[in-house]
């Protein structure tokens, strides 16, 4: 069986890996220059910062086994169970959040190892030269490929929110023991993470994620949101120093949570990703694996 997986994010890579393990011939095509999708790390001034997903949560047995494998090889580490919540700044306990010393994209690179991944390969239609095609991408992007009706219906039903991520590099650490924070009731700021604490190198770097409302206003010129987010973070945490600011736009950053199937299918075409459940890395991984099992079956 020949399968084409379109998209080298966590869903596409987990799907391709499971298909290969099941004996299928798989190639992954990805329009970007690196694998990972929103499991993203980008180099600024010689250091990688996590600019997409903030962390992993593993409460499914299969995904927990995957994370444990990463931990055993030094690729992932338990980061924290407590994050601050604003207003108030009190810590709230939750599940273990996992981080990656080499940046979260290093986990995608691990999944991609040994696969036939063709980077910088954009496509405009659903590939015809395969027994099965897996669209591992946000619904709005899948619609651009003119998929069959049931896929188009499922893709069109998805709701996605944009985010602008700002990487803030300071002269020194002024915020003490932060780890990360959820910011409620702000029109500008949704989350802040201490990337130095998250990565374990102590770098004076914070990564802020905007609200969807702010991102929507700045999607055509995302750099204009940088100073706004830097000022909001400074006010929130009482930081006097001005940071060096880099921004990254995520037009399709986070899907609205759904319930039901882990994928959609129409004939030989499948759609998967974190829109099929809670918007988490784990959901994307499980969705890709579920498609692989169905295709092989």
Reported as a single tens digit per residue, the pLDDT across 104-141 is 999 999 999 999 999 999 999 999 999 999 999 999 99
In terms of CATH architecture, what is 54-103+160-255?
Alpha-Beta Complex (3.90)
- Per-residue confidence (pLDDT) for residue 5, from 0 to 100: 98
Q: Which of 249, 247, 168, 245 is nearest to 206 (CA)?
A: 168
- Per-residue confidence (pLDDT) for residue 283, from 0 to 100: 98
43: exposed, middle or buried (C-beta count within 10 Å: 0-12, 13-18, 19+)? exposed
pLDDT higher than threshold 90 for residue 259: no
Check: CB of residue 192 under 8 Å from CB of residue 148.
no
Check: CB of residue 275 under 8 Å from CB of residue 138.
yes
Q: What is the average pLDDT across 254-260? A: 91
pLDDT higher than threshold 90 for residue 45: no
- What are the b/e assignments for 132-160, b being 16+ CB within 10 Å? bbbbbbbbebbbebebeeebbebbeebeb
Reported as a single tens digit per residue, the pLDDT across 193-208 is 999 999 999 999 999 9
d(C-alpha 286, C-alpha 13), whole Å: 11
- What are the b/e assignments for 1-10, b being 16+ CB within 10 Å? eebbbbbbbb
- Per-residue confidence (pLDDT) for residue 146, from 0 to 100: 97
Question: For residue 176, what pLDDT band results from cuts at 50, 70 and 90?
Answer: confident
- Per-residue confidence (pLDDT) for residue 204, from 0 to 100: 97
How far, CA to CA in Å, does 17 sit from each of 11, 57, 232?
Answer: 10, 21, 41
- In the chain, domain spans: 2-41+104-158+258-296, 54-103+160-255
d(C-alpha 144, C-alpha 152), whole Å: 10
Please tell me the chain's helix, strand, coil percentages from 3-state DSSP, rounded to the nearest 5. Answer: 30, 30, 40
In percent, the amount of the chain with pLDDT more than 90 equals 97
- What are the b/e assignments for 87-111, b being 16+ CB within 10 Å? eeeeeeeeeebbbbeebbbbbbbbb
Question: For residue 250, what pLDDT band results from cuts at 50, 70 and 90?
Answer: very high
> What's the mean pLDDT when you consider all of the chain?
97
Question: For residue 164, what pLDDT band results from cuts at 50, 70 and 90?
Answer: very high
Task: For 2-41+104-158+258-296, give the CATH class.
Answer: alpha beta
Q: What is the average pLDDT across 90-98? A: 95
């Amino acid at each position: 069986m020949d399968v084409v997986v379109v998209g080298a994010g966590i869903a596409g890579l987990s799907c391709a890996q499971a298909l290969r393990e099941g004996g299928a011939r798989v190639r992954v095509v990805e329009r970007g220059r690196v694998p990972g999708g929103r499991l993203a790390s980008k180099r600024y001034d010689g250091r990688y910062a996590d600019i997409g997903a903030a962390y992993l949560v593993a409460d499914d047995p299969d995904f927990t086994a995957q994370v444990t494998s990463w931990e055993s090889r030094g690729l992932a580490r338990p980061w924290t169970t407590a994050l601050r919540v604003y207003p108030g700044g009190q810590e709230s306990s939750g599940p273990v959040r996992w981080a990656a010393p080499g940046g979260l994209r290093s986990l995608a690179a691990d999944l991609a190892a040994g696969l036939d991944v063709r980077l910088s390969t954009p496509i405009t239609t659903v590939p015809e030269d395969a027994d099965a095609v897996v669209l591992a991408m946000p619904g709005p992007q899948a619609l651009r490929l003119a998929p069959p009706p049931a896929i188009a219906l499922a893709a069109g039903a998805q709701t996605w929110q944009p985010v602008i991520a700002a990487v803030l590099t300071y002269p020194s650490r002024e915020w003490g023991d932060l780890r990360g924070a959820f910011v409620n009731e702000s029109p500008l700021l949704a989350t802040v993470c201490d990337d130095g604490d998250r990565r374990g190198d102590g770098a004076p770097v914070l990564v802020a994620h905007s609200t969807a409302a702010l991102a929507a206003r700045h999607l055509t010129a995302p750099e204009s949101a940088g100073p706004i987010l830097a000022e909001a973070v400074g006010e929130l945490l009482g930081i006097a120093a001005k940071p060096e600011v880099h921004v990254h736009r995520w037009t399709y950053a986070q899907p609205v949570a759904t319930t039901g199937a882990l994928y959609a299918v129409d004939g030989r075409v499948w759609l998967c990703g974190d829109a099929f459940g809670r918007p988490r890395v784990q959901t994307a991984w499980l969705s890709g694996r579920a498609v692989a099992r169905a295709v092989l079956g």
